[in-house]
Structure 1
Amino acid sequence: MQRLKTRAQFQAALAGKTVAKTAHFALHSCALDAVMAVVPQGVSPLLFPISGVWLGAMAPKRWAKRAVTRNAIKRQIYNVSAEFEHTLPQHAHVVRLRAGFDRAQFLSATSDKLKAAVRAELQQLFARAGVPTP
């Protein structure tokens, strides 16, 4: 699995359709051959030089104020997606945090309770996307 790194790659993947949503996450997906239609002016058309599964994770400051929380959420996204890698289509995917976790319920930024909640919801997200559980 390749990771999205550039802003243009993220924009291309986000321009695709929303495949699944949960309370806190959204999964966007775009076929690699469809990327040519959404490449911005002046950007190299070779956004994805290698065919395969591409994945990016977005956890904006708006929904996770502390960097330690954003990093923990991104690690969970990459770990859970690795479990589902063999079932994902060869597209560019972005998992986006779209709502914050309640700080009153999850006091610590990296608590085991928060990690378990994030992990369970990410597994639910991939299941809603039509990806069978490994």
Structure 2
Amino acid sequence: MQRLKTRAQFQAVMAAGVCARTPHFVLHRLVLPAAAPACASPTGPGSLPAVQGPQALFAVPGARGAVQPWLGPLVPKRWAKRSVTRHLLRRQIYAVGNDFAARLPRDGAYVVRLRSAFDPRHFISASSEPLRQAVRGELQQLFAHAVRKLAPPSATAEGSGA
């Protein structure tokens, strides 16, 4: 998976809408349009498109061939006060995202946003093993729900009809 890096990328994905949610996380998804051939765009003065599309935000210079999905974590200080916890959450988001990368549609950009804090009464340490397991389990549930929701209708019909 490629990683989202700029604020504009995060804003574009979050504006696209919610794909899945769990008690602590929300998964936003932006469908990226197929890249047009380089010769199709006009060149010269005044050749800029009237509306700037999101593809410019997600273009990888010199990359040809297999398209990979984009992923970015959004972990606000409001919900994870300690940097240790924020880093643990980001690492878990990238790890679970990589596990599900093959099953997610490749024409998408995804943002996993923390939407509520984990209860400090249950997870006393900022980077404890129980917190890591709880986060990983909930992220797996989030991505599994997204994969089921985004699966092509033909694949679900074949699986249920057999």
Normalising by the smaller structure, the TM-score range is 0.7 to 0.9
Q: TM-score, normalised on structure 2?
A: 0.73
Deviation at 1:38, TM superposition (A): 6.5
Paired residue for 1:103?
120
Q: Is the 8 A contact 1:59 1:96 kept in 2?
A: yes
Paired residue for 1:114?
131
Paired residue for 2:38?
none
Write out the 4+ residue segments of structure 1 that deviate beyond 6 Å after TM superposition.
none
Tell me, in whole angstroms, the C-alpha distance in 1 between the residues paired with 2:52 and 2:20: 23
Q: Is the 8 A contact 2:104 2:147 kept in 1?
A: no
Q: From the superposition, tell whether residues 117 and 37 of structure 1 become closer, same or farther in structure 2 (CA, over 3 Å).
A: farther
Tell me, in whole angstroms, the C-alpha distance in 1 between the residues paired with 2:142 and 2:133: 14
Q: Deviations over 1:3-23 (max 9, x none)?
A: 000000000111112010000
Tell me, in whole angstroms, the C-alpha distance in 1 between the residues paired with 2:16 and 2:140: 21
1:1-134 aligned within 5 A: 1-33=1-33, 46-50=56-60, 51-90=67-106, 91-131=108-148
Where structure 1 has 5 or more consecutive residues not aligned to the other structure, the ranges are 40-44
Where structure 2 has 5 or more consecutive residues not aligned to the other structure, the ranges are 35-50, 61-66, 152-162
Aligned residue type for 2:121: A
Q: Is the 8 A contact 1:55 1:93 kept in 2?
A: yes
Q: Deviations over 1:11-54 (max 9, x none)?
A: 011111201000000000001129x7675xxxxx6211134200
Query: In the comparison of the two structures, how many residue pairs are matched?
Result: 126
Q: Is the 8 A contact 1:56 1:93 kept in 2?
A: yes
Tell me, in whole angstroms, the C-alpha distance in 1 between the residues paired with 2:137 and 2:23: 12
Deviation at 1:80, TM superposition (A): 0.6
Please identify the structure whose Cα radius of gyration is greater.
2
Q: TM-score, normalised on structure 1?
A: 0.87
Instruction: Give aligned-pair identity as a percent.
Output: 54
Deviation at 1:130, TM superposition (A): 3.0
